Amino acid sequence: MRWSELDIKGIKNWIIPLIIGAIVGLAASLTYASALYVWSIFHVAVYRLPRLVFPFILLSFLLSGLPVRMFLKRRPKDTFDSILEYYHTSPDSLNLKETLMYSISSLSSYIFGLPVGPEGAAAVMGAGISNKIKSIFGTSISSQAIILTGLAAGFTAIFKTPLSGFLLALELPYKGDLEKEPFLSAALATATSYLVSLALNTPSIIYIQITKFPSINIVVMLVSLIVGAIIGFISIGFVKLYKGLNYIANYLMKKASFPILILIGGLMIGFIAYFEPYSIGPGIDLLNLTLAGGIGLYAIMIILIARAGTVLISFNFGSSGGFFLPSIEIGALLGYLIGMLFNPTYAIYYALLGMAAMAAGVNKLVLVPVTFILEVVGAQIAIPVLLASIASYFISMNAGIYEYQPKNKLDKGTFALEKFYMKAEKQNPDIIQAINALDIMHQNPIYIEQSKTVKDAYNILKSKALKILPVVDANRLFEGFISIDYIANLPSRTLTIAINNLEIRRGITVLETENLKSVIEKMLKGETDHLFVIDKGGILKGVITEMDIIKYMIKSIA
């Protein structure tokens, strides 16, 4: 076979992820090492003069919040959630400007002492760089898959955990589903990013050797499930506190201003950090001290409360960054505390269970926390850690901090519609009031009279490639609808039966004069992806689908 006959597109789909992994691995690793070095300087200064914590934290909030507020007109938040927003709503719009602003925001939080994870800056850096590489070289890999590929490469470069980075690309988009599209590209990019980070020899997150584990037996398995369940319930409370503080922060924004918000947040964290220094900073030293068993029972209680408080305040009062590492750290403290109370000999083992369980419960990830711990600690506790992660995940099933993380792929359309609706209400509320159902519906819809047979309905659905088919009477009055799934599952002996003898679903209707706001609210409330438009006499006039509204909303927001 000649070179010209090779599948060029296929080759690009292999090479571009390798390029992404190399560039993102280099950028994220060097940025992380530099940020950690700068933080170490500030950390020494705060240790010598605790009062410096107030100006440092306020500076951190200021530098973290202003780039996003000024240049992107957005409110800073967890970086994974920002990436998910682009992923689910407008993946092509993530450009270098957004990447730079979010990276500066996240790095500023990290460098000056806020308790955020370095994976935030690395992930958004990776997502933005990979999107730019796609636009330069061109590839058939979708923008959504490219974003996840870059995110995975950035995560891997920071933590040196290629398997966790790979699984993150598959698990993060949905609470209870996997995204398979970035499978190959994420695998190639994370492998390359890992090799680059190893070559650069940047600092590791966990640098101590853990050897004291209990023998694995049925009791240990049961304990793992119990610890996971306990932390699952705690995760629910933690998420509620997170959302409660978010509500308070939004209220302060409306009543005051963003500078007032970050001033309040900075003063609260500064006050906590003045009395408990371990409540701020990246938390890497704290994590390793916990896993070394170097903290007493009462100290761990104080640090846990203080650390959880500063994390919650940081992400709701004007900073951005990664939430994965903070959840790992809080989980380690929680697990260690449980171990100290019930089995001090293996308190470190409990800390590892807590790490997996808290990360699973808060981030809605099952496999990533487990593989993360196995990659940085070792595989000898694989099953107990997996059990703790699964228990926490299912106990806290619907709780999660990410606003842009739908339950599964089936909910994606409704989820996107809801988010665009919220945006339009904020940016252009007059549009959704002024536009009527008549303006966006599919006119002259294909339908079937209820006197026709099942065979007639099947032929229409098949020939027109439709999922649903409206049913009307002889006067075109809307009666309901039937679906292709329902028709396909009917036995062959029913082919000659009239449609009106079937179970016709009622369907949700709107009047052609109803405005877009009413149409959207009916669609969201009814949890459906289509509505039927009728006139005042009940005659079928058109059909509106979820995607019709989403396309219109994108135009109105733009």
pLDDT band, residue 558 (cuts 50/70/90): low
More confident residue, 355 or 44: 355
Q: Is the pLDDT of residue 198 over 90?
A: yes
**Residue range 239-267: average pLDDT?**
88
**Residue range 395-421: average pLDDT?**
76
Of 3-17, 54-68, 467-481, which range is least confident? 3-17
Q: Is the pLDDT of residue 3 over 50?
A: no
| Per-residue pLDDT at 427 | 65
| Per-residue pLDDT at 390 | 95
Mean of the per-residue pLDDT values for the chain?
Answer: 87
pLDDT band, residue 518 (cuts 50/70/90): confident
DSSP 180: -
* pLDDT tens by residue, 9-55: 667 788 999 999 999 999 999 999 999 999 888 888 888 888 899 99
> Which CATH fold would you assign to the domain 3-407?
Clc chloride channel (1.10.3080)
Q: Is the pLDDT of residue 351 over 60?
A: yes
**Residue range 402-420: average pLDDT?**
72
Assign domain 410-557 to a CATH class. alpha beta
pLDDT band, residue 426 (cuts 50/70/90): low
* pLDDT tens by residue, 276-311: 999 998 889 999 999 988 899 999 999 999 999 999
More confident residue, 466 or 80: 80
Q: Is the pLDDT of residue 428 over 70?
A: no
Percent of the chain with pLDDT over 70: 94
Residues of the chain with CATH 3.10.580.10: 410-557
Give residue 20's identity as a one-letter amino acid code.
I
Of 105-109, 176-180, 294-298, 305-309, which range is least confident? 176-180
Q: Is the pLDDT of residue 228 over 70?
A: yes
Q: Is the pLDDT of residue 379 over 70?
A: yes
Cα 193 from Cα 465, distance rounded (Å): 44
Query: Residue 557 corresponds to which tokens in the numbers above?
Result: 């927001």
pLDDT band, residue 4 (cuts 50/70/90): very low
| Per-residue pLDDT at 474 | 87
| Per-residue pLDDT at 197 | 94
Of the candidates 368, 420, 358, the one whose C-alpha atom is nearest the C-alpha of residue 395 is 358
DSSP 444: S
Q: Is the pLDDT of residue 6 over 50?
A: no
Distances (CA, A) of 117 to 32, 114, 176, 181, 406: 10, 9, 24, 27, 23
DSSP 177: -
At residue 483, φ and ψ (nearest 5 deg) are -115, 160
SS (H, E, C) 335-402: HHHHHHHHCHHHHHHHHHHHHHHHHHHHHCCCHHHHHHHHHHCCHHHHHHHHHHHHHHHHHCCCCCCC
| Per-residue pLDDT at 7 | 60
pLDDT band, residue 1 (cuts 50/70/90): very low
At residue 507, φ and ψ (nearest 5 deg) are 80, 160
Cα 138 from Cα 309, distance rounded (Å): 45
**Residue range 521-540: average pLDDT?**
85
**Residue range 489-510: average pLDDT?**
85
| Per-residue pLDDT at 48 | 87
| Per-residue pLDDT at 254 | 79
| Per-residue pLDDT at 556 | 63
Give residue 73's identity as a one-letter amino acid code.
K
pLDDT band, residue 557 (cuts 50/70/90): low
**Residue range 351-356: average pLDDT?**
95
pLDDT band, residue 68 (cuts 50/70/90): confident
**Cβ neighbours around 429 below 10 Å, total:** 11
What pTM does this model have?
0.80
Of 225-234, 382-391, 547-556, which range is least confident? 547-556
Strand order in the sheet with 530-534: 442-443, 540-545, 530-534, 509-511
Residues of the chain with CATH 1.10.3080.10: 3-407
Question: Which sign does the torsion angle of CA 153, 158, 160, 166 carry?
Answer: negative
**Residue range 146-157: average pLDDT?**
96
pLDDT band, residue 264 (cuts 50/70/90): very high
Query: Residue 354 corresponds to which tokens in the numbers above?
Result: 């807590």
| Per-residue pLDDT at 388 | 95
Q: Can you spell out the DSSP letters for 493-553? A: GGTTSBGGGS--B---EEETTSBHHHHHHHHHHHT-SEEEEE-TT-BEEEEEEHHHHHHHH
